[in-house]
Amino acid sequence: MAQSTTGIGTAGSGSADLESLAINVVRGLAMDAPAAAKSGHQGTAMALAPLAHVLFTRILRYDSGAPHWADRDRFILSCGHASILQYAMLHLTGFGLTLDDLRDFRQWGSATPGHPEAGHTAGVEVTTGPLGQGFANGVGMAMAENSLRQRFGAEVCDHHIHAIVSDGDLSEGVSHEAASLAGHLGLGRLVYVYDDNHISIDGPTELALDDDVVKRFEAYGWHVQDIGEASEDLDTMEAALLEARSEEQRPSLIVLRSHIGFPSPAHTDDPAAHGLAFGAEDISEAKAVMGLPDEPFWVPEEVLSYYREAGSRGSVARVEWEHTSAAALSGRSAEWEATLAARPLGSDWADVLPRFGPEESPATRAANQKVLNALDPVVPGVLGGSADLTGNTGTRLDSTEALQKATPGGRQVHYGIREHAMGSALVGAALHGGVLPISGTFLVFSDYMRPAVRLAALSGAKCVFVWSHDSVGVGEDGPTHQPVEQVMSLRLIPDLTVVRPADGNEVAGAWKVAIEGDGPVAIITSRQGTPTLDGTADLALEGVARGAYVLDSDDDPEVVLVGTGTEVAVAVAAAGILRDGGTRVRVVSMPSWELFEGAGAAHRSSVLPEGVPVVSVEAGVTTGWQRWADASVGIDRFGASAPGATVMAELGITPEAVAAAAREVMS
C-alpha cells in the first residue's frame, strides 16, 4: 500500500507515523526560518518536504560525516530559492548545520545564505539560484562522473546525479540546451524531479507557460515518468526514483505534481506562497493541521535520531568503497589523486610546456592548441570541448576520441551551438571533481556564458574558459563578431582570472597559472598571427604568473608603454619610434590585471615606477585603464567589416598612435 503523509501529525509506534512526523517537522522548519529572517521562500520547501525526505532517507548514497566522499551521489536544488528545504535536511541528517544556523537563515556570516553556495555550506554541491543553472550544472556533473567511471572503473566511480528542478528552471533557455546535450550524450546517471506546482511569482504558470514537458523531454531522448499527484506518496516517489536510477542509457525526468504551501489552510496553491507569505497566524494554523506544537524550530529527539541514522547509514558503503577502490586503483593512486584534484602528474610537469622562438608568429589561438596538447599527457583530468569551434579556438585534444554514446570514454566534447549550456556544464563538472573542464568559443559569445562564468567565480570552480578571436582583428566578420567591451567586462567579475597572452610563450604561462590555481581562468586568444616577442621565452612563465612584467626597458625611462595580447607587439614597435626620437622607454606586458593586483605593491612599483607616465594600448574599450595608465589607446566604439589589419589601423591601434599618445602624456 502506498504510504502517504497527509493527515498524520504525531509519532506513533509505526514507521509510517514517524516518517510523517519527520516530514512535518521539515515543513515546520521551512516556515520558521524564513519567518525569523523576515525573508525567504516557504511554500516550495513545504510542498517538497516529502520528496526531500524520500531522497535523503531512501535514495541518495551519501555519508553526512564525510561530505566530500568522492563516490557519493550528488544532489542539486536547482530551484535554489527553496534553500531552507536543503538546509533543513542537511541539519537533520548531520552535515554539521545546527538549529542556530537555521535560526540565522539569510543573516550576515551565516552558514545558511539565501541561496545555496558551494564551498560555503557542507553538503551543498553547486551554487544555485539563477534559474536553469543548477539544471545545466547537473549535466556537467554527469559528464564528470561518466569520465571517471570510464577511466577508472565502476569499483572506483559509480554514482548518480540527482536534482530538483522547477518551472522556472525549465523556462530558462539554458535548460533547453543542457537537456538536449544530456539526451544526445545518453547521460543515464542523471535523475531529475520536476516540481510541477503550477505556480509562479506573478500567478499561475499558465500565464506564460503551457509546454508539454513530457513530450519535450521525450523528444530530447530522456526517460520520462509522469507520476501525477504523488507529492505526498512516499512509496510512489521512491519507486519512480529507483526506476530512473536503473536507466543507464538515458537521463531521467520525473514529473511530480505538487501543491505549493501544503498543508497550510491559507496558502496551499497560493502564488503568494512562492515568497514570504506566512505570518505568525498562518504558521500556527499550518502547524495545527500537522499536529505540531506552536513552537519555532521544534525538532523532537525521535525525528532527529531517525534522520541522523539515515545520514550516517552510508558510512558502511563508504568504508567498503575505500577498500574496493584501493584495490582497483593499485598502481594508479597517484593518477587518481591528480585527476580528482585537476592537478598535473609529477613536480616537473611544466617541462613539457612548449617554447616559441623568434622565427614563429602563430596566432595565440594556434599556440593554445600546441600548449594544450603538450599538457594533455601530464594533466590526466583534461576534458576539452567547444561550441562547434574546436579547430577555430585551439581546443582540440589530439590524443582522444569524441565523447559520444558509442564512445563514452572520449574526452573531446562537442557541445554544439550551446554556449549557455557549455558554460554551466563546465561549472558543474569542475565542482563534481575529477576533471579539468575546458571550453572554447569566440570571445564575443562570452556574453552568452556570463551567468555561468559569474557562478564559476562565485563558487571557485576550477575550469578554463578559452575565448578566441579577441578583438577587431577578427576582421571581415564585422562588429557583430568583433569584441570591444568583453575583455573589460570580464575583468569586472571578482575572482575570475583573465589572461590575455601576447604570444605563444605567454599562452604557456597562462596555462601554468590555470593548472596551478584553484579557481576559474579565462584565456583570451587572437585570431590573427602575432610575432614571438624578444624575451618572452625566458620571462613569460614567471611574468604571466605575476600579472605584468618588464619586457624591455631603457635606464631611467621617461614613459612606460603597457600592452595586452597582440597589442604588446604594437607597444614594442611604438617604443622603437620613440627611441628613434631620443625618448627613453619601458615596455610592459600586462596579460592579467588580477594577477598583477595580487602580486603585491613592491612588484607593481617595480614594473610601473612611481612618477613615470604610463600609456596603455589594448584593442578594446579604454574604460578601466585609468587604474594603471595616464593615457590609453583603445577602441571606444564598435568595429567594422574589413580585413583585420585595416580595421586595427583605421581605429587607431598602431605604433604611431601609441607613440603620439606617449609624447602627449610626457608633455
Determine the Cα–Cα distance for residues 592 and 545; give it in Å rounded to an integer: 8
- Chain centroid offset of residue 333 CA: 27
pLDDT at 16: 87
Of all helices (H) and strands (E), which one includes residue 492?
none
Catalytic residue among 125, 145, 419, 506: 419
List of the chain residues with pLDDT < 50 = 1-2, 5-14
pLDDT at 15: 83
Strands 464-468 and 521-524: parallel
Strands 631-633 and 521-524: unpaired
Mind listing the pLDDT tens digit for each residue in 331-376?
999 999 999 999 999 999 999 999 999 999 999 999 999 999 999 9
The residues, any chain, with a CB within 8 Å of residue 330's CB and separated by 6 or more, are: none
Q: Which residues pair with 524 in a beta bridge?
A: 467
pLDDT at 13: 35
The residues, any chain, with a CB within 8 Å of residue 140's CB and separated by 6 or more, are: 424, 425, 426, 427, 428, 429, 430, 432, 437
| Residue 502: Cβ within 10 Å count | 31
The residues, any chain, with a CB within 8 Å of residue 564's CB and separated by 6 or more, are: 487, 500, 502, 589, 590, 591, 618
The DSSP output letter for 73 is P
Query: Interior CA angle at 114 toward 112 and 115, to 5°?
Result: 95
Task: With H, G, I as helix, E, B as strand and everything else as coil, classify residue 587.
Answer: strand
Looking up cell 561530505 gives 67
Task: With H, G, I as helix, E, B as strand and everything else as coil, classify residue 29.
Answer: helix
Handedness of CA 312, 317, 323, 327 (dihedral sign): negative
Edge-to-edge order in the sheet of strand 252-257:
74-77, 161-166, 190-196, 252-257, 223-228
Write down all domains in the chain, each with its CATH number in brackets.
15-317 (3.40.50.970), 349-524 (3.40.50.970), 546-666 (3.40.50.920)
Long-range (24+ apart) CB contacts under 8 A made by 663-667 are 663/578, 663/583, 664/631, 665/559, 665/613, 665/614, 665/615, 665/630, 665/631, 666/558, 666/559, 666/583, 666/613
Overall residue count recorded for the chain in this entry: 667
Q: Please confirm whether the linkage preceding 113 is cis (ω < 30° from 0).
A: no
621, 667 contact by CB (below 8 A): no
Of all helices (H) and strands (E), which one includes residue 493?
none
567 is catalytic: no
The residues, any chain, with a CB within 8 Å of residue 118's CB and separated by 6 or more, are: 124, 125, 126, 127, 431, 459, 460, 461
Mind listing the pLDDT tens digit for each residue in 586-628?
999 999 999 999 999 999 999 999 999 999 999 999 999 999 9
Residue (of 621, 655, 591, 645) closest to 473 by Cα position: 645
Integer CA distances (angstroms), 657 to 501, 648, 650, in order: 22, 11, 11
Integer CA distances (angstroms), 542 to 165, 281, 472, 508, in order: 45, 64, 29, 11
